[in-house]
Amino acid sequence: MLPEAPGEVGAEMAGPLPSPATGRALLAWYDVHRRDLPWRAAPGEVSDPYRVWLSEIMLQQTTVAAVRSYYAAFLDRWPRVNDLAAAEDGEVMAAWAGLGYYARARNLLACARVVAVSGFPATREGLRALPGVGDYTSAAIAAIAFGEPAVVVDGNVERVVARLTRLARPPKAARRAVEAAVEAMLPADRPGDFAQAMMDLGATICTPKSPACAICPLLHDCAAARHGEAAAYPVKAPKKARAVWRGAMFVPVRPDGTVLVRRRPERGMLGGMVEVFGSPWAAEIGDAADHAPFAAAWTAAGSITHTFTHADLTVDVFRADVAAETAAPAGGWWADPAAAGLPTVMKKAVTRALAMAEG
DNA sequence: TAGACGTGGCG
DNA sequence: TCGCCAAGTCT
């Protein structure tokens, strides 16, 4: 594919491409207002790639406030990447519990075990090949830990650039234009500070709602602010209408309070998670009774709703009180619902069933 | 490539 | 209360 002509990129923007002067102004602001974060090297000090990597993985789609205690606990328990590489899977997963996106923890450990042997790659390209390290994280580590003039684009950067340039399309749909804008203002001598400065600006001044334009160091470089419409950017992609799904779930309860569960297939929604028996989720499910795990005195326990990213689900819940010796059907087992590791939608259904008065 | 993947905080 | 959001990656 041919490289895009500058005009093609610029055509996405109602404002001009940012200049190197804008990048320098941002760094001047950063030198005074930078956030003091535990994974950040002091000014003039060399960054530890392990700490940068660990923090960047934890910060994916996760707030600084949520990460702080986990970062401290991990660093205390596994001070170097070799320590983490030698850890057992279960203890790392347990230490990650509560942070969310658990694939990150699995990739973290896999990555540590690679790095423990060969060390951290010192280039963006090399970093990009590590498990759990994508376009953003590879660029961030390369810039912050190794001083590579990588173009770092995260959600903060997208927002800042969208406002600076009055970007006409949603940033993710105008990826090349965003990168071109960042590159145009990137100070080659301080790429790591520049990346962190963009993120600090996005997190503290150029916020999603109610941006503090009056105290922004880039106010006079910002096309959106000049038009008094910073909050109108970035342009949002139109929300797709959510599908409407229905389902039925069946909760047999033994006298000791255990309920019947099974494990979902590894792939697909809630892959590998524990669930209660029930129907597939679809626009129509037909007769709920067709999906019961076994014949019993099923009683309607009402319904629950749950919103997924792309579907609104309503589930009719049924309960049956069964004998202690009731056998679990193939694939199922009896579990204490409080300790079964149920995802939220399943917890809702079980809670609904158990809230029903017995008998 | 659009969708899945977790959780807690905020207006 | 509830939708939106927060330093994305993988398939």
pLDDT tens sequence across A157-191: 999 999 999 999 999 999 999 999 999 999 999 99
Predicted local distance difference test score (pLDDT) of residue A267: 60
Predicted local distance difference test score (pLDDT) of residue A305: 79
Please state whether beta strands A274-278 and A311-321 pair in parallel, antiparallel, or not at all (unpaired). unpaired
Nearest nucleotide relative to A98: CA against C1': B7
Residue A56: active-site member: yes
- Whether a cis peptide bond, with omega within 30° of 0, leads into A79 is no
Predicted local distance difference test score (pLDDT) of residue A92: 87
How large a percentage of chain A has pLDDT more than 90?
66
Residue A200, amino acid? D
Q: Is the pLDDT of residue A357 over 90?
A: no
Active-site position among A12, A56, A148, A275 = A56
Q: Name the band, by pLDDT with cuts 50, 70 and 90, for residue A94.
A: confident
Q: Give the C-alpha separation, A233 to A191, whole Å.
A: 25
Lowest mean pLDDT among A4-8, A99-103, A222-226: A4-8
Gap from A88 CA to C7 C1', in Å?
27
Q: Give the C-alpha separation, A223 to A167, whole Å.
A: 9
Predicted local distance difference test score (pLDDT) of residue A10: 57
Residue A134 beta carbon within 7 A of nucleic strand C? yes
Lowest mean pLDDT among A6-15, A127-136, A253-262: A6-15
Q: Is the pLDDT of residue A48 over 70?
A: yes
Gap from A208 CA to B11 C1', in Å?
12
Predicted local distance difference test score (pLDDT) of residue A349: 87
Q: Give the C-alpha separation, A55 to A60, whole Å.
A: 9
Place of tokens 């939608």: A345
Residue-wise DSSP of A221-271: G-HHHHTT-GGG-SPPPPPPPPEEEEEEEEEEE-TTS-EEEEE--SSSTTT
Residue A133 beta carbon within 7 A of nucleic strand C? yes
Q: Is the pLDDT of residue A146 over 90?
A: yes
Predicted local distance difference test score (pLDDT) of residue A258: 94
Tally of helices (H runs) and strands (E runs) in chain A: 14, 6
pLDDT tens sequence across A250-308: 999 999 999 999 877 756 666 556 788 998 887 788 898 999 999 999 999 888 877 76
- CB distance A26 to A218 below 8 Å: yes
Predicted local distance difference test score (pLDDT) of residue A359: 40
Q: Is the pLDDT of residue A7 over 50?
A: no
Predicted local distance difference test score (pLDDT) of residue A42: 93
Q: Is the pLDDT of residue A5 over 60?
A: no
* Mean pLDDT score across all residues of chain A: 89
Find and list the nucleotides of strand B having atoms within 7 Å of a protein beta carbon.
3-9, 11
